[in-house]
Copies of this chain bind each other. A is one copy, B any other.
Amino acid sequence: METHKFGKVLISGGAGFVGSNLVDRLLKDGHQVTVYDNFSTGSIKFLSNAKKYNKLITEEDSSYKLYIIEGDLLDTEKLTKSMQGCDFVFHLAANADVRHGTEHPDKDLKQNTIATYNVLEAMRINNIKKIAFSSTGSIYGEPKIFPTPENAEFPIQTSLYGASKLACEGLIEAYCEGFNFQAWIFRFVSILGEHYSHGHIKDFTQQLVNDPTKLNILGDGTQTKSYLHVKDCINGILCAVKNSNEKINIFNLGTDEVISVNDSIKIICNKLNVSPKLVYSGGTRGWTGDSPFILLDCSKIKRLGWKSTHTIENSIDETLNYLIKNKWLLESE
């Protein structure tokens, strides 16, 4: 954190999966953090470690180390006010429900595209120029090259989620050019680890806890993807913000490993010690717009010295431990 003195940081989606892990890390590193979250998918429980900083008053400026603001990114007034005095925004809040995009097509538009526009405008009004943004490997659609590099060919979107993240990236880049912002954009694979609360590892675990004899699987189980541990993800984000200083810094963030849905099921079943009947549905893909294969070329961020420290099996194992310890997550939708 030496080369980039963040100063005061605002984290949108700071009560979410990746966001709350980042909050913990930045507080530990000594930063002052404002969490801005509407708690729709985020949870105050994810901030239970962080909340102890809520009480700590620093000697220098007698201010709290952690502010938690319940607010929606569509509430521009609250958002703009919440950013006052901040120096850096980590914009992690998003509708991350890739799968159900076509059931409510306005959700990605509002919660991702328009929300990101609101973040950028609130930053502009507050004269904050630095933003880190969680994009997605889904933005490549169905790429022709694997592992897929950041400068892959002009992508064709296959999901409303991917389309909305592409729109966000474009907006952020235009603000860099037009308003002299600086941006770090991260195209994530799926993330696993503590505070994981959403995705097929949870769905499977939830199903198997309820009925260990049967497991419903969307698609034929051959969909093969890369996964990253949330701690490695946070390390990657901070490594890039520290060490890459272009106007626009775009990084893939994933592992060189992939795993098929079927192989992840084996790990889960072993861990839970169950042997369910596997029931496949929906053709070769999990859902419309699902990518059958995701593997990102992460050599760009590796050149900055970052590397992943967890195997996918590791990450799944830790995620299961976390879910089993936090049954409330398996009870929620």
Contact of A154 among B151, B157, B171 (CB under 8 A): B151
A289 and B102 within 8 A (CB): no
Considering the chains assembled together, what is the distance between the CA atoms of A166 and B154 in angstroms?
10
Shortest distance in angstroms between A196's beta carbon and chain B's nearest beta carbon?
26
Shortest distance in angstroms between A108's beta carbon and chain B's nearest beta carbon?
8
Interface segment among A30-38, A83-91, A109-117, A228-236: the answer is A109-117
A174 within 8 A of B: yes
Chain B residues whose C-beta falls within 8 Å of the C-beta of A163 in the assembled complex: 167, 170-171, 173-174
Considering the chains assembled together, what is the distance between the CA atoms of A102 and B288 in angstroms?
36
A155 within 8 A of B: yes
Nearest to A158 among chain B residues (CB) is B177
A105 within 8 A of B: yes
B156 and A153 within 8 A (CB): no
Q: Using a CB-CB cutoff of 8 Å, which residues 127-161 of chain A contact chain B?
A: 141, 150-160
Q: What are 12 A-B pairs with beta-carbon distances under 8 A?
A: A102-B178, A106-B121, A154-B155, A156-B173, A156-B248, A158-B174, A158-B177, A160-B174, A163-B171, A163-B174, A177-B289, A178-B288
Q: A residues near B, CB below 8 A?
A: 101-102, 105-106, 109, 113-114, 117, 120-121, 124, 141, 150-160, 162-164, 166-167, 169-171, 173-175, 177-179, 248, 250, 288-289
